[in-house]
Amino acid sequence: MPRYDVLTIGNAIVDIISRTDDAFLARAGIEKGAMTLVDAARALEIYGQMGPAIETSGGSAGNTVAGLVSLGGRGAYIGKVSEDVLGRIFAHDITALGVHFATAPLAGDPPTARSMILVTPDGERSMNTFLGACVELSPADIDESVVAAASVTYFEGYLWDPPLAKDAILKAAGIAHANGREVAMTLSDSFCVHRYRAEFLDLMRSGTVDIVFANEAEALALYETEVLEEALHRIGEDAERFAVVTRGAEGCVVVEGAERRAVPATPVEHVVDTTGAGDLFASGFLRGYTAGRSHEASARLGAIAAGHIITQVGPRPQVSLLDLPGVREILR
């Protein structure tokens, strides 16, 4: 039996979250709704202009494994931090949740990654990310015993920005498949898809990745189309096992070959912050999937987790997701 339901691999980032308005984004030259990579100087510039902020451990794959364990799952994480204050915060936060995290920290520069996240009144988040120590994640950080012990190894598309991480992911995928496990990825961001479209398609078509998570914008970008039906058809052809395409308030579509399953979103009265919505959807879906639930039930679990996280500030659950209405019924 696998020791972990899901191993996630990602950029280990501390989020610095501040509320703002569209006028500030325009003045600061920040692209709304995008994840923009910045260097150390730009990170300091934006931080100096931001209003009051909160600091919380984040990173897409880190958020996903945090949600998974909050739903009662068993999780592990691989990601690179530095031996500095933010790195110690990140390591404490993720291990305190019960997640296995043993990646050796980097001694010296670059420092731990941080993302300045500006949240506008409509709940949209604009991320400006300094990757820092993340660029040092390499194949040496992939623990074969951990990968072999996880039912699913899940990684974020953002890892295609640090060059060494690509080799780390390919190594992990090889270990997973050699041990009869599955590999999943999230496309992360439509801007990320534009940067690495050909490589993402190759990961799918080569069978390196079995399961794909994408939102509607990412799926459209992947196939360079404005027609959702075309994107769904093509992702169904390319995904080795299946793909899940989220559509915000419209719910999601699970695509397995030519078969479609549409699942509605969980109604939310007031959106506070959309940071982490896709990450937590993946938490719920993977928790259900690794527990042997149907795709529909897994998607409902994902919708509950995503619906909850957008009612709070920050991408990690502040209450037990296992106690949310409907969760235990799905997992029973």
Q: Are 135 and 163 in contact (CB under 8 A)?
A: yes
Letter for the amino acid at 222?
L
Q: How far is CA 229 from the centre of its chain?
A: 24
pLDDT digits (tens, 9 = 90+) for 97-147: 999 999 999 998 899 999 999 999 988 889 999 999 999 999 999 999 999
Mean pLDDT of each 10-residue bin along the chain, 332 residues long: 94 92 95 90 92 90 97 98 94 96 94 93 90 95 98 96 92 98 96 95 98 98 97 98 96 97 94 90 98 98 97 90 96 94
**CATH homologous superfamily of 4-331:** Ribokinase (3.40.1190.20)
Ramachandran region, residue 197 (left: φ > 0; alpha: ψ -120 to 50; beta: rest): alpha
- DSSP classification of residue 82: B
User: What's the burial of 41, exposed, middle or buried (CB within 10 Å: 0-12/13-18/19+)?
Assistant: exposed
Average pLDDT, the chain: 95
Torsion of CA 318, 218, 176, 71, to 10 degrees: 20
First to last CA, the chain: 20
- The residue ranges of every structural domain in the chain are 4-331
Asked whether 276 and 63 are in contact (CB, 8 A), the reply is yes
Across the chain, the runs of DSSP E, i.e. the strands, are 4-9, 13-19, 35-37, 54-58, 75-78, 100-101, 113-119, 125-130, 150-156, 182-186, 211-215, 242-246, 252-256, 259-263
Q: What angle do CA 78, 83, 84 make, to 5 degrees?
A: 120
Distance CA 204, CA 201 (A): 5
